[in-house]
Structure 1
Amino acid sequence: MAKSTKEISSSANKISVLAQNSTSKEISQKQASFNLGIEKNADFGDVGMGVLSDGTPYLNQRGLAALCGVQNAHIGTISSQWNDDDEKPRIKAIKAILEKAGYTAASAHFEILHAGRTHYCYPAEVCLAVLEYYAFDAGSNCQPEARDNFRLLAGSKLREMIYSQLGYDPSGKNSAKFERWHERIALNYQSAPKGYFHVFNEAHTIIYELIMAGADIGANFVVDISIGQHWSKHWEASGLAAQFERGKYPHRYPDSHPQSKSNPQESWCYPLAALGEFRQWLQDVYLEGGKFQGYLQGKVSKGQIAPSVAQLAIATLTPPALPKPGG
């Protein structure tokens, strides 16, 4: 029975959280460039890589050349000859490798305009086919770098390497972790009046690190309330209230939070002139003075987070001091 092949196009190999289009037709290079964007990209030494907006991992031309141990121009020639009527033996061999893996490609790369310049993006499956060719099938042009890299990156390992290097989650699980926090941001990112700040926006780094440590941030885990309560007490006790005048602003919770039933809720906002005081207090008193640790220990005792989450968050949010001059 003939093995079915998948077409590498702007709708092919979508990540599992996206709907598959079983009837997708071939998309030309011009159409692909229009439909696709670059989600993430970076250079690691000589290897440039990224992830397209449909979740497809790729290497750029220079990166693929480096893995294959050949000049950048050789990879460019593969692209330019990909659809020649008189198909060159090298192109025929690479396409055969690709088809054996279950893929076809209308072109070797996508041209994507990103950040003001054109990027030449070679999908991971094309990269592996070219890498295998230069590892074993190029005759006198076989490259030891290609063999070494193919052994390291065969199968799904190239995809996984690109995702890992870029911190990209193809399952979409990390995106779901941030969903409820993002809902609050969407409702409140501009809610403080001009000239004032509010604790919710200033707590973003703490909330982010808690989510990354594994905390389920939601209706029962609103760390900015804890920060706000302690800061308000400090505001009065330290004499800041005599120096500055704070005010109230409407804060809203998304429908996924039971607190939304009493929207909008009045919350304190503070003048920007006091922002330096707040950030110093947040680091010295709340984070390093034991208040944050006490808040997390309360969550641990209620079974709302694991002890490891609390330990990781505390360790991450206690940055090292700058070295002393001459030290």
Structure 2
Amino acid sequence: MSLQHQGNLGLFSITESTNSNLGMGVLSDGTPYLTNRGLAKVCGVDHSATLRLLQKWDEEKHKPRGKKILELLNAQGYSESNLYIEANGIHGSFYAIPDAVCLALLEYYAFDAEHTNKEIAKTNYRILARSSFKLYVYDQCNYNPNQKIDDSWQMFHERLLLNDNIPINYFSIFKELSAVIVNMIRAGCKIDDTTIPDISVGQIWARYWTQNKLDEKYGDRFKFPHTYPDTFRQSTGGQYDAWVYPADALGVFRRWLHETYFMDKFPKYLNTKVTSGAIVAHDATRLLDTLQKPALATQNPPEKDNKK
């Protein structure tokens, strides 16, 4: 499955700031970062010094300076093989140095290295250690880590309230996917008018229904009004009609959803959302693990022993 091997390649900067002439920002998974020049500035050294550490870390970590920095990284709980994340920004790919690496290098230049601007590093280390590096960057970038989730909950809730009147003897794709959408939001997927999974599911299920002539077994489906909230661009088209299906076919739908859609179609759908930035790759993989959970094993009940 392609999602499982994308690693950090799917990360990108969602907000940036140059306050105090420091290159900083937040990646799409919430990781705060400094650019190399920003890191060098807070450490009070030339950017070429930190750049060599980043690019030649495999060599540098075996030298006296690198060994000390490695100790500080271990103390920060950082165990990645690189000191940076290669991410995408508005000007192309760049090195994003995550918070744990920034603090480890800042501590080294503040207390262990010998250089002319050591006091700058000490002052910045005290500021960041006191206020939390993550909160400092979030504040400088005006980033609210809960905003995407809060907005998604709001938009999902509005749509759910507008479409809660399905006839009792029928089911709708949207309402059946409510638990799926909740899991998507919890996994960090942005739910808005560009991410409407029930459209994808509805189109593929409709073809399956027709191809297998399920109306002959369960009865006719019919179109029922579906309304989008004003916050959705789709609302400008007025009320839509969406298929609703006989409740007797609900078990068939749920089995199809797990065995066909989640296992084969949904990974492709999520890949499009990773590409668009609605969700990052490792969160998409975690979501798939949740939705592709094995079916409960069952067996036929044992025959009764009628012998006396």
Q: Which category of TM-score, normalised to the shorter sequence, fits these structures?
A: 0.3 to 0.5
- The structure in which a higher percent of residues are helix is 2
TM-score, normalised by the number of residues in structure 2: 0.47
